[in-house]
Amino acid sequence: MVVDSTYYDLLGISATATELEIKKAYRKKAIQHHPDKNKDDPTAADRFKEIAEAYQVLSDKELRGRYDKYGKEQAIPKEGFEDPSEFFGMIFGGSAFADYIGELTLLKDLSKTYEMQADDEETAPESAKAGESSNPGNSTEGAKTSNFSEESHETTHVEQTASTFTTSRPGLTIAAGDGTECGPQMTEEDRKKAIDLERKKKKEEEIAQYEEECRIKKEEMVAELSQKLISRISLWTETDKANDVTKSFTEKLRYEAEVLKMESFGLEILHTIGSIYRSKAKTFLNKQKFLGISGFFSSIKEKGGVVMDTFRTISTALDAQSTMNELSKMQERKETAAKLELEREEKERIKAEKIARGEPVEEEEPVEDAVKEEPKKEEEPIPTDEDIAEMEKRLLGKVLAAAWKGSQFEISGTVRGACDSVLYDKSVSLEKRIERARALIMIGDIFLGTERSSGEQEEARIFEELVAEASEKRARK
């Protein structure tokens, strides 16, 4: 018996609801009353907030216990309630898969590398301009040597770099800062090339160092995920594997899969993990058969799958880019048409004012017959607001698909690495590794067998859009 059932009523569940029932009810109600889906309803935001508060309390065992005994006032989180929109994005942001796939960093790492390369491209022209402004064409040789001395702090090894030029250009001397000659002299062009070459080398070293750090972090994460996977399957591998133990193990996995499929792209992630677990385990088991021939062909098939995953990832991204360009052109056509319409209306207004004042009106010159006879190019129709809205909806779907493909590519690599560590650790007996493979097949079959009903599928489509919008809003802050 609970003293207050308000929160349960808001989610439409009983006071005895399980963790899974609470989460499912919250997602359904949050989608139903999300402000972005109810823009004409001024009460939607308040209901959405109440639903979020109800879930924040009921999903926390300690807070739920206090709420059941003492009511709302004794069940307020220490840090206060989260912003409902941010909370919605956070709890369905895929973090529940962290023990399976770790942190997804591919896009972040690529963006960081791109930024480092872009910074180098931006600073190089500025350095060249700075050199030109301080060394005009009619400057004396002393001015050139002085400027070289001032810029020497930008590169500590420019003299070594410059040697690549002096070797092939004998007879030139480098002038020191005091005007004395200390070897073959560099021309202004060679000096700039030396500085740019040194800067490029330094930037390449920085990028290589960053990529090496990323590689080490990835290896550490795969090692951690491997240990978590070993711990998870030990619930079966470290037992007598009796029927009741196996049943308990599989039921636990099915329940977990039902929870995980509710996450952002949850079903897709489950199927990706399940497919890799089963493929890796079967390849390993086939290698233990006579001569390991079937295992060899399984490995070839697996590598072919990696290539196809790469191709699909790139194709999906290009498709999203194409739709983005198409939307941009539609918006440009609409803006151009609106501008021309304003210009026409302005001309009509001026003409009307002149007529009202009795002033002569200049008639537009007639178009020549030759021009009239020229075949007109078929003009593309001016897109309406509805056309653009529909294209934006299509673009969102393709952007989500591209984001998923990129994430799936990274997830696949991480999960494959964890499976290899679990199955090919020679410090573990072959018998134990065979048991691990059998456990992975069980998990793979359950994850691949997890599905959504037609109602859940439509709910998931709306849900993915809302999560994407919530994530975008967080990124803008």
Tell me the per-residue pLDDT of 80-111, one tens digit each, with 9 for 90 and over.
887 666 666 555 545 778 899 888 775 565 55
Confidence bin at 326 (pLDDT 50/70/90): confident
The more confidently predicted of residues 383 and 323 is: 383
The CA-CA-CA angle for residues 11, 14, 19, to 5°, reads 75
CA 475 vs CA 38, 86, 324, 408: distances in Å: 23, 11, 20, 21
- Residue 119 has what pLDDT? 59
Contact 323, 398 (CB under 8 A): yes
- Helix, strand, coil % (nearest 5) of the chain? 75, 0, 25
- First-residue to last-residue Cα distance in the chain: 43
Burial of residue 189 (CB within 10 Å: 0-12, 13-18, 19+) is exposed
The token pair that represents 67 in the structure block: 């709420």
Domain boundary assignment for the chain: 5-82, 198-354+382-471
Average pLDDT for residues 203-209, to the nearest whole number? 83
CATH architecture of 5-82: Orthogonal Bundle (1.10)
CA 463 vs CA 26, 31, 68, 273: distances in Å: 12, 7, 30, 22
Residue type at 188 in one-letter notation? E
Contact 69, 105 (CB under 8 A): no
Query: What DSSP assignment string belongs to 7-43?
Result: HHHHHT--TT--HHHHHHHHHHHHHHH-GGG-TT-TT
Confidence bin at 365 (pLDDT 50/70/90): low
Collapse the DSSP code of 139 into the 3-class scheme (helix H, G, I; strand E, B; otherwise coil) and give the result.
coil
The residues near 184 (Cβ < 8 Å, ≥ 6 apart) are 166, 169, 170, 171, 172, 173, 174
Confidence bin at 228 (pLDDT 50/70/90): very high
Task: Give the residue from 262, 264, 208 showing the smallest Cα distance to 456.
Answer: 262
